[in-house]
A = this chain, B = another copy of it.
């Protein structure tokens, strides 16, 4: 071989970025390709959607993060195809980049279970643009309500429906409760914002279904205190410009609303299907590539798939969840494998094992639920743990400082510092 081992990473999310950083000292020639010029800290995206943080505070330019890593280069580009025989990837502009090892970590997007027509009325929360669009809709609803004379229309404007009771849905609904009861309380003259109605719709029997039942109950209690009405064991059957219809058992309920937020299904990025077509790898019904125990594509020892794009069965027979810690650990695991290969060491088929450190979710001011191993806790202590861990994992020191200050200001002033209605129709 002429030059050093060429490693190509597609996607600069948690999986791709942690793989790249773990290869810092490896004798490889590393390229990270992403459609965006920044790494996004998705666990805090709901705080942008609810006006607490600015996009730049939870995003770090990939070039800045990898600036001092001499073996790494960053390219902004949209990978559309992979040629495993020629060992290269093809971008949307038809340029190609060769690899010796390919790591695909392009994540997932939202999915409407065959109801793509719902997207228009119920945006999901995956990108910075999604977040500012949701922020626009939430704040515009209150502004329109202030000017609306008809009580029925005003009530629909002051009704918010969040579909999906996982961590994102719970955190969005909690933040909406706080906005209505606290942040905006003294801002309007015609409407009384605590009259806002917030619904959280979940298909399972309880919110936060993967969490221990005690924590689900604690989360639901906190949500109710914030005025959120939870509808569990409920299925959405219709979403349009005037409201949402849900089915609970054999009863249906219609909720008149102008603002629906989607935090339910996700589907793997389209590169899952590309890998399926090019290598014959199986994909599951969410479009994720079913990977081997060492995270390669079956029969393709040079192609790794990690993070939300990978379908990986844990030892207990359960599918690993699409969360940041899984992607981070997979990124590091793959980096170690690649480093060994680059040194020419025999590829001992190491097995990926996920170490579940726990899960947590915030529900408004000084309230959260957390589970770490057998330790379950909620309230202020869980909230402080949540704050600390989320600050710690922000990639750049600058973001850590700015988020800390924004949070402190928001906490003290009961304000949300980034309440801007921007984008969409230019004024």
Q: Which A residues form the contact surface with B (CB < 8 A)?
A: 35-38, 54-57, 59, 61, 63-64, 67-68, 73, 75-78, 95, 127-129, 132, 139-140, 143, 146-147, 184, 186-190, 398-399, 401-402, 405-406, 409, 413, 415, 417-423, 426-427
Within the assembled complex, what's the spacing in Å between the Cα atoms of A190 and B95? 16
Which B residues are CB-close (under 8 A) to A59? 420
State the oligomeric state as a number of copies.
2
User: Does A37 lie within 8 Å of B189, measured CB to CB?
Assistant: no
Report how far A419 CA is from B406 CA in the complex, Å: 19
Cβ-defined contact, B147 with A56, below 8 A: no
Could you say which of B73, B75, B140, B415 contacts A398, with CB atoms under 8 Å apart? B415
A127 CB contact (under 8 Å) in B76, B95, B419, B427: B427
B95 close to A129 (CB less than 8 A): no
Q: Given the complex, which residues of B lie within 8 Å of A415, measured CB to CB? A: 64, 398
B422 close to A55 (CB less than 8 A): yes
Q: How far is the CB of A93 from chain B (nearest CB, A)?
A: 8
Return chain B residues, CB-CB under 8 Å to A75: 143, 146-147
**Set of chain B residues within 8 Å of A143, measured between Cβ atoms:** 37, 75-76
Assembly CA distance A67 to B401 (angstroms): 28
CB atoms of B37 and A421 under 8 A apart: yes
Given A75-B146, A143-B37, A420-B55: A402 and B405 interface contact (C-beta under 8 Å)? yes
Task: State the 7 A-B residue pairs at the shortest beta-carbon distance, nearest first.
Answer: A56-B418, A54-B54, A63-B187, A35-B427, A76-B143, A73-B189, A54-B56
A167 to chain B, nearest CB (A): 24
